[in-house]
Amino acid sequence: MRKGTFEILFSLNDPSIAPTLHSDWVSGDRKVLVKVLLKGLGGEIEVNGELLNYEAAMPGFGPALGDDEIASILSYVRSAWTDAPADVTSAFVRKVRAAEKEKTGPYEANALWKN
């Protein structure tokens, strides 16, 4: 299940599905990255100067993954595909999860970057 979850999240075999791996979405504000994994993402997003609009929203994995798992996945992704530090800790994920507990449904990009 965990391997399948990771492949769904980042579609590692098809970079056209997830060009975000080499972008500010991964290397930027780690809080945004945690929110996306917890709650999901929908609508139009800008990635490396290109506007992308996926037909379906990425689902949130907050209910299925624990804080340690999310921290491990995101730290790995940040260090493997960007120069960003692998500094997503389970304590940080727990803090973001608590702050976002009332949020239902996926985020829209413009709402994520405002917080």
For the domain bounded by 2-114, which CATH number is listed? 1.10.760.10
Q: From first to last of its 115 residues, what are the pLDDT tens digits of the chain?
A: 355 555 555 555 555 555 666 667 777 889 999 999 999 988 887 777 878 776 777 889 999 999 999 999 899 888 887 777 788 999 999 999 999 999 998 998 878 876 5
Structure tokens at 101: 């507990």
Q: Is 41 exposed, middle or buried (0-12, 13-18, 19+ CB in 10 A)?
A: buried
**How many Å apart are CA 12 and CA 29, to the nearest integer?**
22
pLDDT tens for each residue of 40-66: 988 887 777 878 776 777 889 999 999
* Nearest CA-CA partner of 31 in 81, 78, 82, 64: 78
Angle at 20 between CA 51 and CA 24, to 5 degrees: 90
